[in-house]
Amino acid sequence: MSLVPSGEMTLGPFFPREFAQGANDLSAGAKGEVIEVTGRITQLDGKPLDNLVVEIWQADSQGRLDAADFFGWGRAATDANGVYRFRTIKPGAIEGRAPHINFLLLYSGLMRHLQTVMFFEAAKDPVLDAVPANRREALIAKREGAVYRFDIRLRGDGETPFFDD
């Protein structure tokens, strides 16, 4: 049998708040360096976006995916200033990949979800290398102590690269 995937559609403006809450701390009980990953999400006119849903997927500190003692998935929503916030563990390198966190964005005005990736430094990586060289900088978080800042611009100057899968 061969079925066509269902048509993806926008999240709309009324995603239940309870679903976006309580899932942005991945660090509880996990081994490794605890970090905060945060950033501001803006649209073409520079306006910060409120209640945009951000989901992440990452490896544990040893580079293992879906490890028994680390649940590498999380979800947060932006506040009125467009800011999302995760508390997590700095991921290790998965074989063949530089350390990174996968991001998925859901919002009204996005006909379907957008995917991007946050890197910790400009390292050799097949996904980062797929991005035109002059746009790679936008995928590298800015470090301030234990805080990694990863701002996302959906459209316009300094636009974040998004991936087609």
Partner 1 sequence: MPHFSLAKRDPATQSEGVVPGYAQTSQRWPSQPLVKRPQTKSELTGPANLARRLGAVRGDLAGHGEKRALGQLIHIRARVVDEDGAPVPGAVVEAWHCNASGRYKHPNDTDHAPLDPNFYGAARLVAGDSGLVELRTIKPGAYPVPDAAGWWRPPHVHFSVWGRVWLSRLVTQMFFPGEPLNEADVILNAIRDPQARNRCIATLMPTTKGPQNALVYDYQIVVRGRGASPKL
Q: Mark residue 154 as left, alpha or beta (left: phi above 0; alpha: psi -120 to 50; beta: remaining).
A: alpha
Rounded least distance, CB 81 to partner 1, Å: 16
Residue 101, beta-bridge partner list:
58, 118
**57 near partner 1, judged by CB under 8 A:** yes
**69 near partner 1, judged by CB under 8 A:** no
Rounded least distance, CB 102 to partner 1, Å: 6
Note whether 86 and 37 are within 8 A (CB). yes
Residue 86, beta-bridge partner list:
37
Distance CA 159, CA 134 (A): 11
Contacts of residue 162, defined as CB under 8 A and 6 or more positions apart, other chains included, come to 114, 115, 116
**109 near partner 1, judged by CB under 8 A:** yes
Of 146 and 152, CB closest to partner 1: 152
**122 near partner 1, judged by CB under 8 A:** no
Rounded least distance, CB 76 to partner 1, Å: 14
- For partner 1, the binding residues (CB under 8 A) are 1-19, 23, 43-45, 47, 49, 51, 55, 57, 59, 64-66, 71-73, 94-97, 100, 102, 104, 106-114, 126-127, 130-132, 135, 154-156, 159-165
